[in-house]
A and B are shown apart, each in its own frame.
Chain A
């Protein structure tokens, strides 16, 4: 295939020839290419490109960000293959084509290219719509990789809330959204469910852009979702990973097969008398295998609410630490105790006297434990995230 010069250069050359002595003619535009955000990762348009598009329920209407649209345009102009993958319960390639023109001059070639771009736009709008219920972006990424040789570029345009195994975000009230990305990657590796992305550049766009009836993710959940997909792409061998954070509306493409809603439980608020659970869900999350808060300021804000309740009463509180099934039983108890003590320290710092607080660590030995080990003994990231918490039991004085 003959190598072509870049599109902007072609445009400049054509304009130079066509605008001799006259700038006011129709069709003789002197405008230059508007500055678009260039991708840091997939900036080479001289390789094939596959775009996995999640035009499905519960996910915002997919619109390619400018940078990826420019990449798609430049890839097509370079005569490289462009492929669209449909993201649904059974992702598949729905469109693939390469721009070719028999035109002998620039204007005719541009005319052909304009028609090809329209063809791409039409395919994007019509052939990427979901046909099978549920969503499997991981499989779509795998399909995209199959359609693109190493060195190519992949774009995943989806909310990222997968509802098909091995990533069922809807399980455990969205517990996976609180899970550690590394644990999810480890779990996927053990299941041999990672796609082969070796040598490909991966661009992730639209992550967290949900649509009704799927509830919107908060910033922490969105960030964790992005971290999860970034970790998956890296662990799959991607040459580089870039995440584009473009806002989108709350509307999805209408009339498409249903997708399970990922129930996102509201963060618990402390009750004057009763039990309150502090976990990643209400920003009291801990670093893996440590008793340090992931975000101390956010945790302090959450615990402040508990302190406020206690400040206006005479309750005592028992802080019970719990962990996932990682490490030995004694280690789990120690870790869970230290985490409970970390919460206690914050309460004391906020003005609650230490004699009103007791702590203990139960590890995984408590009634609310969610089994977080698979049949082969592997840690299940979602349940594990559910088990990492500190339970505050407020006891109101009798009488």
Chain B
């Protein structure tokens, strides 16, 4: 029961992949997704992608936060943070999906993923450009905690609009970070996307679940079967006892009938009656297998516990 998972799902993975994800392109699983033997695990790069993505997401949060705070001036810090996290998740998801869809296209899938991939890319680029523009336009002097200069003959230097050269570097860095994290997410999506493996993982998971359920129910089943067997034996024993008792009681009834005939014959004192009573065909044997022997009635009742 427990030795099946290592082989059965792997053997079925290709068909599972067909059924679940690869609706078309039979060459796909045989080609790029190919080797079913390699489907059992993930590469080191796939595991490395997760922390890299998390770091990239935190970097994006840091980069977006200041901008969104300035754009949404009236909103509280918590709301701004929620927006930033949501925005970050959205752009990273878009990049990741674009990578996945492009991978599907690379292996020859002919569904609507081509359009989806370019749509995701376009939206991702659009959001990045908007964020870059906002970063460029919405400028904020960082409050560093330095003591401001108060002089009677010097106006503050930042009273005028900041020129492009002062804000462009930070905005460019912001855009570079956006592109970098997006590329990380997209490349990760491209390299780790494998519908066959996904189907395999699903099947493996379902098989493991079923196996665990079977293992959990096996004990209960064994107990129930033993109980059933015990009930069966008890039933058979009861039937046997019932048959014996029935036989015994039938014999006793026959004895009583015979006894009644004797009494009737004694009372009648008529041979004809006696013959009629005893010489009938089909008379049943007594309980001990002998024919009833005529005996003088005794004062003792044959019925246990009854008085004459």
Residues of A within 8 A of B74 (CB): 102-104, 108
Residues of B within 8 A of A103 (CB): 73-74
**Is the CB of A356 closer than 8 A to any CB of chain B?**
no
Residues of B within 8 A of A113 (CB): 143
How many angstroms between the C-alpha atoms of A62 and B58 in the bound complex?
46
- Shortest C-beta distance, A64 to chain B (Å), equals 4
Residues of B within 8 A of A121 (CB): 148-150, 155-156
- Shortest C-beta distance, B179 to chain A (Å), equals 15
**Is the CB of B22 closer than 8 A to any CB of chain A?**
no
- Chain B interface size, as a band, is 35 or more
Residues of A within 8 A of B288 (CB): none
Residues of A within 8 A of B75 (CB): 104-105
Q: Which of A34, A104, A110, A124 contacts B143 (CB 8 A)?
A: A110
**Is the CB of A177 closer than 8 A to any CB of chain B?**
no
Q: Which residue of A lies closest to B167 (CB)?
A: A26
**Is the CB of B174 closer than 8 A to any CB of chain A?**
yes
**Is the CB of A111 closer than 8 A to any CB of chain B?**
yes
Residues of A within 8 A of B58 (CB): 20-22
Q: Quick one: CB contact mask for A84-123 with B, threshold 8 Å, 1 for yes?
A: 0000000000000000001111111011011001101110
Contact B151 A73 (CB under 8 A): no
**Is the CB of A246 closer than 8 A to any CB of chain B?**
no
The segment from B40-48, B64-72, B99-107 that touches chain A is B64-72
Residues of A13-32 at the interface with B, using a CB-CB cut-off of 8 Å, are 17-22, 24-29, 31-32
How many angstroms between the C-alpha atoms of A55 and B152 in the bound complex?
6
**Is the CB of B295 closer than 8 A to any CB of chain A?**
no
Q: Which residue of B lies closest to A59 (CB)?
A: B152
How many angstroms between the C-alpha atoms of A110 and B140 in the bound complex?
9
Residues of B within 8 A of A31 (CB): 144-145
How many angstroms between the C-alpha atoms of A106 and B65 in the bound complex?
11
**Is the CB of B287 closer than 8 A to any CB of chain A?**
no
**Is the CB of A126 closer than 8 A to any CB of chain B?**
yes
How many angstroms between the C-alpha atoms of A70 and B153 in the bound complex?
19
Residues of A266-286 at the interface with B, using a CB-CB cut-off of 8 Å, are none
**Is the CB of B170 closer than 8 A to any CB of chain A?**
yes
Residues of B within 8 A of A106 (CB): 69, 77
Contact A26 B170 (CB under 8 A): yes
Residues of A within 8 A of B158 (CB): 114, 118
**Is the CB of B281 closer than 8 A to any CB of chain A?**
no
Residues of A36-89 at the interface with B, using a CB-CB cut-off of 8 Å, are 36, 53, 55, 61-64, 66, 69-70, 72-73
Q: Which of A11, A27, A128, A253 contacts B145 (CB 8 A)?
A: A11
Residues of A105-153 at the interface with B, using a CB-CB cut-off of 8 Å, are 105-108, 110-111, 113-114, 117-118, 120-122, 124-126, 128-129
**Is the CB of B223 closer than 8 A to any CB of chain A?**
no
Pairs of residues from A and B, 4 with the lowest C-beta to C-beta distance, nearest first? A26-B170, A21-B58, A33-B145, A107-B69
User: Which residues does A use to contact B, with CB under 8 Å?
Assistant: 7-8, 11, 17-22, 24-29, 31-34, 36, 53, 55, 61-64, 66, 69-70, 72-73, 102-108, 110-111, 113-114, 117-118, 120-122, 124-126, 128-129, 253
User: Which residues does B use to contact A, with CB under 8 Å?
Assistant: 55, 58-59, 61-63, 65-66, 69-70, 72-77, 79-81, 140-156, 158-159, 169-171, 173-174, 177
Jot down 19 A-B pairs with beta carbons below 8 A, ordered by A. A20-B61, A26-B173, A27-B170, A32-B145, A63-B152, A64-B149, A64-B150, A64-B151, A70-B147, A107-B69, A107-B70, A108-B69, A108-B72, A111-B70, A114-B143, A118-B156, A121-B156, A122-B156, A125-B156
